[in-house]
Amino acid sequence: MSKSAVVLLSGGLDSSTVAYIARKEMGSKGKIYLLSFLYGQRHSFELQCARKIAEELCSPFQVVSVGLKGLVESALVGSSAIPTSGVDPKVIPTTWVPQRNSIFLALAFAYAETVEAEFIYAGMNAVDYSGYPDCRQEFLTHMEKSLNLASKKYVETGRGFGLITPLIEMTKAKIIYTGLELGVLYDKTWSCYKGPDEQGRACGECDSCRIRLAGFATVGAPDPLKYKETK
Amino acid sequence: MSKSAVVLLSGGLDSSTVAYIARKEMGSKGKIYLLSFLYGQRHSFELQCARKIAEELCSPFQVVSVGLKGLVESALVGSSAIPTSGVDPKVIPTTWVPQRNSIFLALAFAYAETVEAEFIYAGMNAVDYSGYPDCRQEFLTHMEKSLNLASKKYVETGRGFGLITPLIEMTKAKIIYTGLELGVLYDKTWSCYKGPDEQGRACGECDSCRIRLAGFATVGAPDPLKYKETK
């Protein structure tokens, strides 16, 4: 029997890697449904990247709008500055968007119920993760159970949807290594919290750029993106 | 110390009653933040009702858009017919919107984190509830924990947000009785799954109308809405 999965795809390095992992794990007869969100993020360039990844994977791609702007305070959906101070694992940075993963997972489970996919793949990572509460395994385990309790399929059949987070225990280097083996086109992904500058370059100094650059450095592979400042 | 709450308000009978309960429970120094959603529902008349209730309560009112249309199948966000066959408690009806309460609660917790409200009030009801899985106490208990695990406040302080569902064990008659005591203006609420007809009347035959009418009949109070067909 063929398997299918909904994949949360932001167009970043992690979720793009997850999309390739999901495609492999669903098998040649399986299907993946790629889901992105327009939630008031500072730039929509990552959505263009997500679309390119979806084209590469020849998979259905849908963008859902969620009106988070005006509802939450976050450097990622507002106008306040993106921090460039480096990663302190004890502090939740201003780039955190309250309940973002909760909202995205709830929408992904809703979509999975509709297209009758058995799995939801998502790129949460508990190693190089900027300290976001909604990237921790404890949250993910609880949320999977909660969303199954709200699902018609689970209530009617006792079988729930499976939330798969293949990157959860991986370092950024391990993620990149895995993705390179699967043929992920990292030149089509985007990680920088800021959009590209007029020359198409990432800033190289926000948390997301720092973590990505360190990962490629550890693997010993070149990052195909262009950077304004390389560390 | 003053208390504050985010209240999920659809403009229906239940959530409007909850808004009045929340205002009372927050006290004269407290504050309630009313939150509605534009999610592709068949008619937006209930949002007009929600706005009127918010004006009555002199409270901040915000409408968040969520692009559920095209993502899920439901008689409430699509074009298929609204069932009028009566309520069968063993069958989940086609009016169910997958994960709707999960999505709304996640957004409410996000908003509560932003405005620093301690409580989230919501009108789920496990008695006259059309058999929706996401109205059951088991789901709500798990979801409250899940959303707290994703919250910055809970991670940093160990104190979470409280999800309050005052109607959960009430019959519809008990809800109406409670609301009348609090002065809820039920003429400003709307329950019918269809919008008003050209004469401003509810259909009187969808599940939601049937449950509402039966509730008023039990209380022995007149429903101030006009109906096309009264049962």
CATH code for the part of the protein at B4-171: 3.40.50.620
- What backbone phi and psi angles, to 5 degrees, belong to A59? -125, 150
Closest CA to A107 of B64, B215, B55: B64
Provide the mean pLDDT of chain A.
Answer: 89
Closest CA to A28 of A2, A9, A6, A54: A2
Token reading at B162: 């409280």
Note the pTM of the prediction, 2 decimals.
0.91
In eight-state DSSP terms, residue B135 is G
State percent of chain A over pLDDT 70.
88
| Tens-digit pLDDT profile for residues B174-191 | 999 999 999 999 999 999
Most confidently modeled range among A59-73, B40-54, B66-80, B106-120: B106-120
CB contact under 8 A, B103 and A92: no
| Tens-digit pLDDT profile for residues A104-149 | 999 999 999 999 999 999 999 887 656 788 888 999 999 999 999 9
B187/B190 Cα distance (integer angstroms): 8
Q: Which residues of A touch B73 (CB under 8 A)?
A: 114
Q: Does B45 touch chain A (CB under 8 A)?
A: no
Task: Look up the CATH superfamily of A4-219.
Answer: HUPs (3.40.50.620)
Instruction: Show Cβ contacts of residue A38 under 8 Å, excluding neighbours closer than 6 positions.
Output: A44, A47, A63, A64, A65, A66
DSSP string for residues in A115-178: HT-SEEE----SSSSTT-GGGSHHHHHHHHHHHHHT-HHHHHHS--PEEE-TTTT--HHHHHHH
Q: What pLDDT is stored for residue A183 in this prediction?
A: 97
Element at A61 (helix H, strand E): strand A61-65
More confident residue, B1 or B226: B226
A231: confidence class by pLDDT, cuts 50, 70, 90: very low
Q: Chain A, 75-134: which have a CB under 8 Å from a chain B CB? A: 92, 96-103, 106-107, 109-111, 113-114, 133-134
| Tens-digit pLDDT profile for residues B12-24 | 999 999 999 999 9
In chain B, what are the domain boundaries?
Answer: 4-171
Q: Does B152 touch chain A (CB under 8 A)?
A: yes
Q: Mean pLDDT throughout B117-140?
A: 86
Q: What pLDDT is stored for residue A216 in this prediction?
A: 97
| Tens-digit pLDDT profile for residues A31-74 | 999 999 999 887 789 999 999 999 999 999 999 999 988 888 76
Task: With beta carbons less than 8 A apart as the criterion, state whether B231 and B205 touch.
Answer: yes
3-state secondary structure (DSSP) of residue B217: helix
CB contact under 8 A, B67 and A65: yes
Task: With beta carbons less than 8 A apart as the criterion, state whether A5 and A117 touch.
Answer: yes
Q: Mean pLDDT throughout B136-148?
A: 96
Q: Mean pLDDT throughout A154-177?
A: 95
B136/B125 Cα distance (integer angstroms): 7
Lowest mean pLDDT among B52-56, B85-89, B138-142, B172-176: B85-89
B74: confidence class by pLDDT, cuts 50, 70, 90: low
